[in-house]
Structure 1
Amino acid sequence: MGEQSRSEESVTVVTLTRYRPVQVQRAMRSVRAQRAGVTVRHLVLIDDNREIQTTLDEVATDFPLCDIRYVPREPHETSGPGRASRLRNMGVRHASSTWVAFLDDDNEWDPDHLHSLLSCVREHRTRAAFSDVSLLHTDGTPYREPRWPWANSTAEAEATYRELAARGICEPGSNVIRHRPDALEVPVDTSAWLLDRQLLLEVPFDEHFSATDAQNLVSEDDKLFYRLNERGEPIIATGRATLNYYLGGYSNSAETVAPAERDAISWAPE
């Protein structure tokens, strides 16, 4: 991790947004509320949507440590993990901080999320750490259904949940996912990570996705998790569910995501 003192540490939080003007402001408030003990700057990258830019420009003065940037699309670019990866990599290159975290525009953190992650990486001298996850419905109520949300069908969701519950990753009656660095079939969500910026420059987000990736619901956070494990990067988990994950994104079961949401996040393989 290097010999940088705590007083020199800082965190850049990268958020991508395109269709969620209300939710992204919730995410911005969540970053502003962090009690991390270091400087936390927020970089919001607007994915080719001038309407959201207008909305965020109106509230920009409420977020003095937030840099809001508009990023237009090239004619060939489509929604999906390829575009998201390019924006995330852009955010990493733009940052000048020691650490980088990512908060999706429809999620939020507990106020001590970054502090708990920083404590872990300092104690274990690692360059990568992540939190556990609390699953929520879009209305904020806990998701306690015995179905794994990231599946192609209800039957698959129920079978996967039973398997993961037997391994202690899920717990019946709880809305918490307890990630483990060795559980490769349960990749860590991007919003749960704290990563050394230099590590992300060495191992950037994969920007290429295939039709097979689409069929298997493979996203950019999945590939990052796989690549970190393949290179043997030490990873530590806080064991605390400080990420509040609101269900409804493109990786959720196609049978449970609303049609409008599917249209917003549909993507074409490259």
Structure 2
Amino acid sequence: MNKEICVITFTVDRVDALIRCIKSVLLQEIPVRHIVFSENYAQLMEDKRLDFCRDTTDFFLLEGVPHRGPSSPRMAALRQHALSAVSERYVCFLDDDNEMESGHLNSLMAVMERQQVFAAYSWRSLLYNDGSQFDGMSYPWHSDEQEAYKRWQWCVEAGVMVQGQPVMRDGPVAVPDPMRLATVDMNEWLFDTAVLKQIGLDFDFSEHDLINRVGEDDKLFARIQSLHLPIAGSGMATIRYYLGGVSNYRIN
């Protein structure tokens, strides 16, 4: 069967997490091509722990050294660069510390075919590093406690979060969003490759963006909305999103 979907992952040195990520792609109920990009390509090629996926996963070299600093501008550039390697009709991104549930891609393909949209998205279940469920009682992506509480309150009032539950119900909201918190995480999307290449990603991040943890996925979501491109959600939490990676980045 032809592979219509390309999954793109970036990694540096979190091999244990990467193995979990790759295994989740291998469990998808639809044939996919999985590309892993890394500055540490040589080390990954020698790591015996990855022998199980040599025939099923493509490893590509990223030139340069692992980046230190704000992640969003770097990730926007990497994602745009990676798109040049994609020839499949559909593309998605999966961070090396996250996982897909087994029916994730099938459910998004069904949404795209049924609703004739350019992109489909899921929800995500938040987990701590040890695999336990997020408690649903805070907003975990801002270091200032008062600001984080304000954002959590909005998320609960808007239905993006439910108090005490670990699921982020991402997507457009029908209520005022003054802090622009409604988004779709990059791990949740499945895109029509040609359209994503055409609209591209935004590399321009202000100091305000960096302080407020605006991500490349936030900017892409805003661009999709401004262009009135057709999108639809599955309404299912089929991404397992682990807190504690880039989510813990702090600006000094």
- TM-score, normalization: structure 1? 0.83
Aligned to 1:42: 34
Distance 1:48 1:235, change over 3 A: same
- Share of identical aligned residues, percent? 31
Unaligned runs of 5+ residues in structure 2 are none
**Structure 1 segment 64-83 matched on structure 2, within 5 A:** 64-73=55-64, 78-79=68-69, 80-83=71-74
Counterpart CA distance in 2 for 1:175 and 1:52 is: 33
Count, aligned residues: 246
Counterpart CA distance in 1 for 2:228 and 2:14 is: 36
Partner of residue 141 from structure 2, selected from 126, 134, 150: 150
User: Match of 1:242, SS?
Assistant: strand
User: Match of 1:132, SS?
Assistant: strand
Counterpart CA distance in 2 for 1:9 and 1:203 is: 23
Counterpart CA distance in 2 for 1:63 and 1:158 is: 45
Pairwise CA distance, 1:90: 2.1
Does residue 14 in structure 1 map to residue 8 in structure 2? yes
CA RMSD of aligned residues (A): 2.3
AA of the residue aligned to 2:33: R
Counterpart CA distance in 1 for 2:216 and 2:186 is: 8
Counterpart CA distance in 1 for 2:40 and 2:212 is: 27
Does residue 229 in structure 1 map to residue 225 in structure 2? yes
Does residue 23 in structure 1 map to residue 14 in structure 2? no
Does residue 131 in structure 1 map to residue 127 in structure 2? no
Counterpart CA distance in 2 for 1:190 and 1:45 is: 16
Q: Is the 8 A contact 1:181 1:237 kept in 2?
A: no
Pairwise CA distance, 1:9: 6.4
AA of the residue aligned to 2:231: I
Aligned to 1:240: 236
User: Match of 2:13, SS?
Assistant: coil
User: Match of 1:241, SS?
Assistant: strand
Q: Is the 8 A contact 1:131 1:243 kept in 2?
A: yes
Q: Is the 8 A contact 1:18 1:52 kept in 2?
A: no
Counterpart CA distance in 2 for 1:267 and 1:100 is: 31
Counterpart CA distance in 2 for 1:155 and 1:49 is: 41
**Structure 1 segment 194-209 matched on structure 2, within 5 A:** 194-209=190-205
Distance 1:118 1:69, change over 3 A: same
Which deviates further from its counterpart, 237-246 or 210-219? 210-219
Pairwise CA distance, 1:200: 1.2
Counterpart CA distance in 2 for 1:109 and 1:143 is: 17
Q: Is the 8 A contact 2:136 2:162 kept in 1?
A: no
AA of the residue aligned to 1:45: F
